[in-house]
Amino acid sequence: MNEKKVKIREVGPRDGLQNERQWIETEDKINWINQLAETGLSYIELTSFVHPKWIPALADANEVVKGVKRNKSVSFGALVPNERGLERALQVGIDEVAVFLSASETHNRKNINKSIKETINILKPVVYQAKLADKSVRGYISTVFGCPYEGNVNVQRVIAIAQSLLELGVDEVSLGDTTGIATPNQVEAVLQELARKISLETIALHPHDTRGTALANVFAAYRLGVRTFDGATAGLGGCPYAPGASGNVATEDLVYLLEGLGAQTGIHLERLVNCGKWIQNKLKRNLPSHHLQIALASENKEGFHQ
């Protein structure tokens, strides 16, 4: 194992765009994903097979997956909520499957109208079928570091859910700081407790930069041995609990930090920044990525609405 090698999971096309109010044309999504695939990213989450009633912004999931140019160096994933979603995803041909649930009972119920236990039962055949089809599966756990409804989330509950996912056959568990409230000591505490039961090689961190702490949390996790991190190019994807505030950490900023720490991301930062410019231009509003704003500023463009 190369200790300096890190895996970046690009979730911009799915997690970044899913709450987007503006409709992005399918051909634009495909064009943008094709650009992202040329930056050195090894994983791109293309879309979601959640019913379009719930995520209208990604109603063109089939067309997006079919339209993207395949590239052997990139694994293309999609989010699926249940067996029906998996079936659709497998039909159009995805490389990886992502499933999701919450560490907080209230958040899980608000999000998918099921208890955590019910959700795990729903995911069981999904993961089974996905593995039968020889797909890697990642499992997102949200509200790991706190819940907007319940407040504190017990780390033992997080560990139990992660263990359940791994027992189902999930290959990688991504710990989500859904509302961006984590600080590095909390990240350390959760990871240290988790590491007593689960190898950190199977763990990813999904940081949100809502309070500016995303890269501090990534630094803490990297130091403890986590080598997989989720980001969204341009910092796409606001926090659903605070419209206007930032959500996903920008992949560009994540790459800068990790390379600065001596890690190898394999990503061409300038190309990634160009992908950020492209999507900002499409959305016609300033996006939170620091590197994107520096690049626009140095071209004497101050972005939109400044």
The encoded tokens of residue 172 equal: 């990688």
User: How do strand 136-142 and strand 172-176 relate by DSSP bridges?
Assistant: parallel
Q: Give yes or no for residue 243 binding a copy of itself (CB under 8 A).
A: yes
Q: Which of 170, 204, 250, 272 is in the footprint of a copy of itself by CB under 8 A?
A: 250
CB of 291 to a copy of itself, least distance (A): 6
Under a CB-based contact definition with an 8 Å cutoff, are residues 115 and 105 in contact? yes
Whole-number minimum distance, CB 93 to a copy of itself, in Å? 35
Closer CB to a copy of itself, 60 or 253, in the complex: 253
Show Cβ contacts of residue 91 under 8 Å, excluding neighbours closer than 6 positions.
62
Which residue type does 255 have?
V
294 touching a copy of itself, by CB under 8 A: yes
Catalytically active residues are: 239
Does residue 242 sit in helix, strand or coil? strand
- CA 161, CA 288: separation in Å to the nearest integer? 31
Residue 231's alpha-carbon distances to 9, 11, 31, 120, 167, in angstroms, are: 6, 6, 19, 25, 26
Select the span of 16-24, 25-33, 135-143, 204-212 touching a copy of itself (CB under 8 A).
204-212
Torsion (CA) 236, 66, 75, 295 in degrees, nearest 10: -30
Contacting residue, 245, 271, 282, 283, with a copy of itself by CB under 8 A? 245
Exactly one of 215, 234, 236, 267 binds a copy of itself (CB under 8 A); which one? Answer: 215
Minimal distance, residue 217 CB to a copy of itself, in Å: 8
**Residue 96 and residue 115: Cα distance in Å, rounded?**
25
Q: Does 225 bind a copy of itself (CB under 8 A)?
A: no
Asked if 210 interacts with a copy of itself (CB under 8 A), we say yes
User: Interacting stretch for a copy of itself, rule CB under 8 A, among 22-30, 46-54, 112-120, 292-300?
Assistant: 292-300
253 binds a copy of itself (CB under 8 A): yes
Name which of 12 and 139 has its Cβ closer to a copy of itself: 12
Nearest to 261 by CA among 10, 38, 3, 1: 3
Using the minimum distance from each CB to a copy of itself, give the nearer residue, 70 or 262: 262
Packing angle between helix 251-260 and helix 290-298, nearest 10 degrees? Answer: 100
């790459």: which residue's tokens?
A: 255
Binding mask 270-289 for a copy of itself (x = CB under 8 A): ---------------x----
- Which of 81, 121, 118, 119 has the alpha carbon at shortest distance from 97? 81
- Rounded to whole angstroms, the Cα distance separating 225 from 306 reads 40
Q: Which residue in 164, 186, 248, 280 binds a copy of itself (CB under 8 A)? A: 186
Does the footprint of a copy of itself cover residue 184 (CB under 8 A)?
yes
Among 161, 214, 273, 287, binds a copy of itself (CB under 8 A): 214
Question: Which residue in 257, 267, 273, 279 binds a copy of itself (CB under 8 A)?
Answer: 257
Interface ranges with a copy of itself (CB under 8 A): 183-186, 209-216, 218-220, 239, 242-246, 249-250, 253, 256-257, 260-262, 285, 290-291, 293-294, 296-298, 300-306
